[in-house]
Amino acid sequence: MTLKILIVDDEALARVRLRTLLADCTAPAAEVVGEVATAAQAMQCATHQSLDAVLADIHMPGVDGLTLAQGLRALPQPPVVVFVTAHAEHAVQAFELEALDYLTKPVRLERLQATLQKIERHIQLKQGLEPDIPEEVFIIVDRGRTERVPASQVLYLKAELKYITVRTQNRSYILEGALSDIEGRHAGRFIRVHRNALVSRRAVRSLEKHHDPLEGDGWAVRLSGIDELLHVSRRQLGAVRAVVAGSV
């Protein structure tokens, strides 16, 4: 499937960047069928052509993106709405308007690809089709080489400075990004055990008393497949206990 996308943003450079990222997306691919700077232009495009999704900024001169979303919902064949904005404070209101996703600038390729997959599944379900759900992967770029690491193989992710260590049973990778973004996209697969670490729910083997040189006496989680222990913060202890007990 190739998704038909309309980009709505009053900043020309933002439109160029988003179009460039969309050109690099696959599975599904995306075709930018239009780029406009205002909500009025967006409504005109959506009225006169078939669109799968509208990627819209929120803060624009005149009618804003939230009002645009309300207008698009009233169309006979409304496209999916995804907000792309630098202002995270509107997330709740965006989802009240049934926006399918909410991307914060600067948008990363991996995050955008995940959004396109959401759009594809939404369309397939709406059409009564069985969604062809691809394997979730992390895109790792290392010294000019791009590698797809299946999320099902990842045991933990640990934030260190501005990078994230992605650990599988066999090796470690370095990923740029925010741990909170990964947690939001993969909440069913990973659980937070500390402010700087997510672990695979299926890999959790036990919860053990542990002395950490930095954290002191406390608890740590042991994962299947590796000997390394990961410290569990007091705040996350109850949630991790529930996973070990098999109640979540």
Per residue in 160-206, pLDDT (tens digit) is 888 999 999 999 999 988 898 888 888 789 999 999 999 999 999 99
Q: Is 199 exposed, middle or buried (0-12, 13-18, 19+ CB in 10 A)?
A: buried
> What confidence tier does 38 reach under pLDDT thresholds 50, 70, 90?
very high
Q: Say which CATH class 154-245 falls into.
A: mainly beta
Entry field: residues in the chain: 248
Q: To the nearest 10°, the Cα dihedral for 112, 51, 78, 27?
A: -40
In the chain, domain spans: 2-126, 154-245
Encode pLDDT of 143-156 as tens digits.
777 888 999 999 99
What kind and span of H or E run contains 72? helix 65-73
Assess contact for 65 and 58: CB atoms under 8 A. yes
Q: Which of 235, 240, 241, 144 is nearest to 195 (CA)?
A: 235
Can you tell me the distance from the alpha carbon of 24 to that of 11, in angstroms, rounded to the nearest whole number? 21
Can you tell me the distance from the alpha carbon of 14 to that of 25, in angstroms, rounded to the nearest whole number? 17
Encode pLDDT of 72-85 as tens digits.
999 999 999 999 98
Point out which residues pair with 140 in neighbouring strands. 147
The three-point CA angle 244-246-248 to 5° equals 105
Q: Say which CATH class 2-126 falls into.
A: alpha beta
